[in-house]
């Protein structure tokens, strides 16, 4: 019932954080990044092929426990290719949470398909599986092993869960739903490198998954992304279509379909290799910080700090305050005060179904997401903050 005591919140955060301005999430480039980039420049291998590209792909597959990783130019491109590779085509619908970064919906649109927005739950901050099942039961019909939306007549081809701020969604239930309704499961794991569901790395649960290495993510390559899969055929196709679909030949230019130039330059992959060498340290440090927030802020009335579910291990990419429902009117005042105090804080994205270009897309009732949107505040989460 009680409202948030904002001066108390500020004073506890200041006590946890170093003196001065604290960014929401800044990269940590203190390992071999400079050495490997220098190596690219000195050797001349700065562009779209090179040994760091291959090495980064190997290390990513090893770290995530997946058979193959194909690195690409950014996470949005990775998602676009994932959807294409599972067969999403023009006029299909793709189920995605409304509470996600805009790239998830944009990737669907790049395929000529239509985002179909689904609701989120407080437990995981991701798709609400129970609600989704009930909704699909009502609005879909299965014909010849394909799922159709009875209201629009369009095929629903895929389901794209996203692991919000690195916290694993209730993926096991979503896998069952995907099977029940004949949907391809594509994981948007852009935020969840280093996050595990029942001991299995996120990205392993569908046919294919996407990672991002944007500057604000847990591991960065400046800009970059990756496609993850356990299917060797899909992996081969992924490499082919993201590298202009060129048939290997000593001197001739033969391309066997419309490919994409989505290659990650070697110079970016070099940064990625160095980053992965330190990922265990990143994860440990972020967990220390998250535990401090959880412990210390439990003394503040009127809010809670999001904590991973028992069966999951979060990378705690972005730490999250959840205001009690009665205190949502305080959100903007808290955001203003924290930012004024040099504690960089942000609300979650605007629900995608409220954006102009997506406002007419099909959707279920989205009360869960709408409420979460008013309750979430992200607070500083950089690796170095766990060191204090």
Catalytic residue list: 217
Distance of closest approach, residue 371 Cβ to ligand PLP, in angstroms? 20
Contact 126, 150 (CB under 8 A): no
Distance of closest approach, residue 104 Cβ to ligand PLP, in angstroms? 5
Closest by CA to 221, choosing from 262, 273, 260, 261, is: 273
Rank residues 155 and 165 by Cβ distance to ligand PLP and give the closer one.
Answer: 165
CA 153 to chain centre: 30
Distance CA(171)–CA(44), nearest Å, equals 43
Distance CA(115)–CA(93), nearest Å, equals 6
Length of the chain: 388
Task: Name the one range near ligand PLP by CB under 6 A: 4-12, 97-105, 276-284, 288-296.
Answer: 97-105
The first and second tokens of residue 59, run together, are 């290390």
Q: Is 170 in the site for ligand PLP (CB under 6 A)?
A: no
Distance CA(344)–CA(212), nearest Å, equals 22
Distance CA(106)–CA(88), nearest Å, equals 13
Rank residues 80 and 375 by Cβ distance to ligand PLP and give the closer one.
Answer: 80
The first and second tokens of residue 46, run together, are 């700065």
How crowded is residue 87: how many other Cβ atoms within 10 Å of its Cβ?
Answer: 12
Distance CA(19)–CA(342), nearest Å, equals 9
Distance of closest approach, residue 40 Cβ to ligand PLP, in angstroms? 21
Task: Name the one range near ligand PLP by CB under 6 A: 45-53, 60-68, 186-194, 352-360.
Answer: 186-194
Residue whose C-beta lies closest to ligand PLP: 75
Applying CB under 6 A, among 22, 28, 64, 74 the residue interacting with ligand PLP is 74
Residue count at the site for ligand PLP (CB under 6 A)? 15
Q: Is 103 in the site for ligand PLP (CB under 6 A)?
A: yes
Rank residues 52 and 101 by Cβ distance to ligand PLP and give the closer one.
Answer: 101
Contact 44, 51 (CB under 8 A): no
Distance of closest approach, residue 138 Cβ to ligand PLP, in angstroms? 27
Rank residues 56 and 101 by Cβ distance to ligand PLP and give the closer one.
Answer: 101
Distance CA(180)–CA(93), nearest Å, equals 17
Q: Is 95 in the site for ligand PLP (CB under 6 A)?
A: no
Relative to beta strand 114-118, strand 140-143 is: unpaired
Applying CB under 6 A, among 121, 187, 191, 313 the residue interacting with ligand PLP is 191
Binding pattern to ligand PLP, positions 296-325, x when CB under 6 A? Answer: ------------------------------
Closest by CA to 218, choosing from 198, 197, 189, is: 189
Distance of closest approach, residue 115 Cβ to ligand PLP, in angstroms? 13
Q: Which of residues 202-261 bind ligand PLP (CB under 6 A)?
A: 212, 214, 225
Place of tokens 């619908």: 93
* Site of interaction with ligand PLP (CB under 6 A): 74-76, 79, 100-101, 103-104, 162, 188, 190-191, 212, 214, 225
């Amino acid at each position: 019932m009680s409202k948030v005591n904002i001066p108390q919140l500020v004073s506890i955060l200041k006590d946890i954080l170093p003196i001065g301005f604290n960014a929401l999430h800044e990269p940590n480039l203190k390992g071999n990044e400079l050495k490997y980039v220098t190596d690219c420049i000195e050797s001349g291998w700065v562009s779209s092929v090179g040994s760091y590209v291959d090495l980064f792909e190997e290390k990513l597959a090893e770290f995530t426990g997946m058979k193959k990783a194909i690195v690409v130019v950014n996470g949005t491109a990775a998602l676009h290719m994932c959807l294409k590779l599972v067969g999403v085509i023009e006029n299909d619908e793709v189920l995605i949470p409304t509470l996600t970064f805009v790239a998830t919906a944009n990737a669907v649109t790049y395929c000529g398909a239509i985002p179909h927005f689904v609701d989120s739950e407080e437990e995981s901050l991701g798709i609400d599986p129970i609600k989704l099942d009930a909704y699909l039961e009502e609005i879909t019909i299965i014909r010849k092993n394909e799922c159709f939306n009875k209201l629009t007549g369009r095929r629903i081809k895929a389901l794209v869960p996203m692991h919000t701020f690195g916290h694993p969604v209730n993926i096991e239930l979503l896998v069952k739903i995907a099977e029940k309704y004949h949907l391809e499961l594509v994981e948007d794991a852009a935020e969840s490198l280093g996050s595990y569901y029942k001991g299995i790395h996120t990205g392993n649960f569908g046919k294919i998954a996407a990672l991002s290495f944007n500057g604000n993510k847990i591991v960065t390559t400046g800009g970059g992304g990756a496609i993850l899969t356990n299917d060797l055929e899909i992996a081969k196709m992924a490499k082919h279509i993201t590298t202009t679909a060129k048939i290997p030949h000593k001197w001739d230019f033969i391309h066997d379909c419309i490919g994409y130039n989505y290659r990650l330059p070697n110079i970016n992959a070099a940064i990625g290799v160095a980053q992965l060498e330190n990922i265990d340290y990143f994860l440990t440090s972020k967990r220390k910080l998250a535990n401090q927030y959880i412990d210390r802020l439990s003394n503040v009335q009127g809010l809670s700090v999001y904590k991973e579910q028992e069966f999951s291990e979060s990378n705690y990419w972005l730490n999250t305050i959840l205001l009690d429902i009665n205190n949502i009117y305080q959100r903007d005042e808290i955001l203003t005060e924290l930012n004024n105090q040099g504690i960089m804080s942000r609300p979650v994205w605007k629900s995608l179904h409220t954006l102009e270009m997506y406002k007419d897309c099909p959707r279920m009732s989205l009360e869960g997401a709408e409420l979460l949107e008013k309750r979430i505040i992200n607070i500083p989460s950089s690796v170095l903050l766990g060191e204090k």
